[in-house]
Amino acid sequence: MCPSRAVSYAYDEIRRNWDDTDWWSNRVQARINGPITRAVRRDCATDVVGADWDTLIVLDACRYDLFEEVVDTSAYDEYDRTESPGSATSEWTTRAFAETAPHGDIVYVTGNPTTSRHAPGAFHRLIEVWYEAFDEELGSIPAEAVTEAAIESHEEYPEKRQVVHYMQPHYPFVRDPDLQFTDWGGTGEIENANADSRAHDVWEALRYGYVSHDEVWAGYRRNLEYVLEHVSELVDAIEGKVVVTSDHGNLLGERGSPIPVQLYGHPVGCRHYDLITVPWAVQTIGHRRAIRVGSVGSGTKADDDAVSDRLSALGYVE
C-alpha cells in the first residue's frame, strides 16, 4: 500500500473507531505491543516435534497455573513449565508442525479444526475427530470422542508417534451453560435457546463485565476437570512416553506491555508470560514404542467452508 493510501486508511479507521476502547486495545496489541515483545523477548520456545515423546496429549488453551491448581503434578515422572511456540492454536500449529514438516512418523488425532487448516498434509495421517463428532448441543467436540479415536489410532498405528489434541479446556465451557455466549455471526452452528447473545464469547463477556473473573475461572477449571477424566482413560489404555501439554493459555484481563492495555483470550502473536507458558508433564508407561517413519498422507477430508463453520462455532474469529 502506498504511503498516502496507508495514511488515508489509518485516518478512516481512527475516525470510525475513535471512541471504541476495544478497537484501540486490539490495535495497540497488534501494531505496537505484539511486534515489540516478539522482537525483544528471546524465543526459548519448546521444539515440540524434537522433544522426546511417544504420545503428545494437547489440552487446548490450558494455562500452566490452572493445570497446577487442578492436577497433582508430583504424580508425573517429570513436570515443568515450558514456553509455547505460539499464543494461539493457528500459530502453534504452524510453528510446531507445518514449518517443520513432513512428519511421516506422526499420526495426529485432532478435535480442533485449526489443524486441518494449518497443517493438513504434514503427517502420516490426520484423524479429524472434529469433522464427525461435533456436538451442537455442547457447542464443541466431546472429549470422549477424541479419546475413543486416539485409542483406536494407537492400536492401528503402533509404530507411529501420536499427537492427541483435545478441544478442552478451550471455550465453550461444556459444564457451564450459563457461560455460553453465542454471537456467532449468523453461522447457525449452535442452536442453544439458553445461550446469551450479548457477547461473542466468554472473554468478551468478561471484558464487558457481564461475568466476573471468578465465574470465568471456575468454568475454565471445570472444563479442564472434564477433559482430564477422558485423558485418564486414554493414558490407562496406552504405553510409551506420554507428555501432557498445551498449545497456549488464556488471558483474563492481564495487562500487556509496554503499553498496559488489558488482554483477553489468546490473541495471535502475543508473547505474554501467562499466555505462552504451558504445562509439560511427562510419564512413561510400560514399554516405549518402536517408531518408524512412513509416508505423509494426503491431508484433510474437509473443505475450507466446513473448517470455517466449525471454527466459527467454537468462537474463533477469522
**Alpha-carbon gap, residue 80 to 300, rounded angstroms:** 33
Please write the tens of the pLDDT for every residue from 206-230: 999 999 999 999 999 999 999 999 9
Q: Phi and psi for 104 in degrees, rounded to 5? A: -75, -5
Please write the tens of the pLDDT for every residue from 99-131: 999 999 999 999 999 999 999 899 999 999 998
Tell me the pTM.
Answer: 0.86
Query: Comparing C-alpha atoms, which of 149, 69, 154, 65 is closest to residue 112?
Result: 149
Q: Domain 44-313 classified CATH 1.10.1740?
A: no
Please say whether the beta carbons of 173 and 220 come within 8 A: yes
Lowest mean pLDDT among 13-22, 93-102, 132-141, 164-173: 13-22
Lowest mean pLDDT among 62-76, 113-127, 156-170: 113-127
The stretch 139-143 carries a mean pLDDT of 92
Query: Comparing C-alpha atoms, which of 171, 141, 143 is closest to residue 251?
Result: 171
Looking at residue 261, its pLDDT comes to 87
Looking at residue 315, its pLDDT comes to 56
Percent share of the chain, pLDDT over 90: 64
**Alpha-carbon gap, residue 317 to 101, rounded angstroms:** 26
41 contact partners, CB below 8 Å, separation of at least 6: 271
Question: Domain locations in the chain?
Answer: 1-40, 44-313
**Alpha-carbon gap, residue 100 to 66, rounded angstroms:** 30
297 contact partners, CB below 8 Å, separation of at least 6: 121, 123, 124, 125, 126
